[in-house]
Structure 1
Amino acid sequence: MNKPSPKIGYARTSTVDQNLDAQIEALTAAGCGMVRQEQRSGATLEGRPELKTILDFIHPGETLVVTRIDRLARSVQDLQTIVARLKEKGAHLAATEQPVDTSTAAGKAFFDMLGVFAEFETNLRRERQAEGIKAAKRKGVYRKRRLEGTGLSA
């Protein structure tokens, strides 16, 4: 009888238009016996049933594996919440494309730095978007985004 893999993969894209194949392939190559996948925004932890399932059922000694930390969460707070849940269960986090392994002190420190930069990048993107909207309004070319199927503006 085969022993289950202590590695559980998690693949995520923000939209259904994006492809998960490369992530799934990398996670399988990394030895993940199971890969859970979802195509939902990573802006918050809410509304991500596959990630919730992993966090609810992961066992001591198992490792949640992602390709990159930004596939898991977009804010330091959410990353810390996930890592705290894993730690409570005696589990760890690793990434295939980044030197993250929360079972080591160096890996934990690097993970924390990556989280800070992921949040910084998100904040920069929001600032650039706000600046672009402001410039478009000054030029009189700004049009509000329409909410699909409602005819209403966002």
Structure 2
Amino acid sequence: MSRIGYARVSTIDQDLDTQIAKLKAEGCGIIRSEKVSGASRDGRAELATIIDFLRPGDELVVTRLDRLGRDTRDVLNLIHECEQRGAFVTVLDPHVSTRGEMGHIVLTVLGMVAQMERRFIKERQREGIQKAKSAGTYRGGKARIDHSRVVEMHRKQEGISEIAKALGCSRMQVYRILNGQYRSESIVAR
């Protein structure tokens, strides 16, 4: 029986250290982590690796339920996959495990609350942006990637994967920047 920790943050500028420290303190011998959105399971290679290697009696441990995902259905499907392999899921805050029936009920309710909370946050954010736009003070989100550097590297014939790796972002982000930059020139990024 192994305790396998999973840590996740949504963006490359966020820190995984706190989650990893908590998982180590809980006795997780293996900890996998990634910096990717939890909106869906797409692109979450570390989580997929954990699920693939779970054995009967193993335990997947996360610090909070939203580290597994933001959508209740995705989280419940993930828990179901773990159980199909004979493994358990434990959330540290609040401490809940799928070892008993009550844990399933609590995780379902927590997942629904987390999804509802996310919707409320997005709605408040939209309202704030709309208010700022009306007042003429909205400037947009802070750019996390140097767009000019992406374009410069691309013009120097560097590949999409090389650019993404050098700047610590995804290939999709590089494509989006290049498609926005070259839209009028109709150059397709390679």
Say yes or no: TM over 0.5: yes
Unaligned runs of 5+ in 1: none
Q: Is the deviation greater in 9-18 or in 144-153?
A: 144-153
**48, 56, 62: which one pairs with 1:60?**
56
Q: Does 1:131 align with 2:127?
A: yes
Q: Does 1:10 align with 2:6?
A: yes
Partner residue of 1:96?
A: 92
Going from structure 1 to structure 2, the CA distance change for 1:52 and 1:135 (only over 3 Å counts) comes to: same
Q: Which has the higher helix share?
A: 2
Going from structure 1 to structure 2, the CA distance change for 1:136 and 1:115 (only over 3 Å counts) comes to: same
Kept in 2, the 8 Å contact 1:27–1:66? The answer is yes
Kept in 2, the 8 Å contact 1:99–1:107? The answer is no
Going from structure 1 to structure 2, the CA distance change for 1:131 and 1:80 (only over 3 Å counts) comes to: same
Same amino acid, percent of matched pairs:
42
**29, 41, 45: which one pairs with 2:41?**
45
Tell me, in whole angstroms, the C-alpha distance in 1 between the residues paired with 2:18 and 2:7. Answer: 9
TM-score (norm 2): 0.72
Partner residue of 1:115?
A: 111
Offset of residue 101 of structure 1: 0.3
Offset of residue 144 of structure 1: 4.5
- Which digits, 9 at most, give the CA deviation of each residue in 1:28-49, with x for residues without a partner? 1111110001111111111110
- Which digits, 9 at most, give the CA deviation of each residue in 1:36-81, with x for residues without a partner? 0111111111111000101111111111000111111111011011
Amino acid of the residue matched to residue 51 of structure 1?
Answer: L
Offset of residue 114 of structure 1: 0.9
What secondary structure does 2:57 align onto? coil
Partner residue of 2:155?
A: none
TM-score (norm 1): 0.88
Going from structure 1 to structure 2, the CA distance change for 1:73 and 1:127 (only over 3 Å counts) comes to: same
**15, 18, 23: which one pairs with 2:19?**
23
Going from structure 1 to structure 2, the CA distance change for 1:145 and 1:21 (only over 3 Å counts) comes to: closer
Q: Answer 1 or 2: higher relative contact order, Cα 8 Å, separation at least 6.
A: 1
Unaligned runs of 5+ in 2: 148-176, 182-190
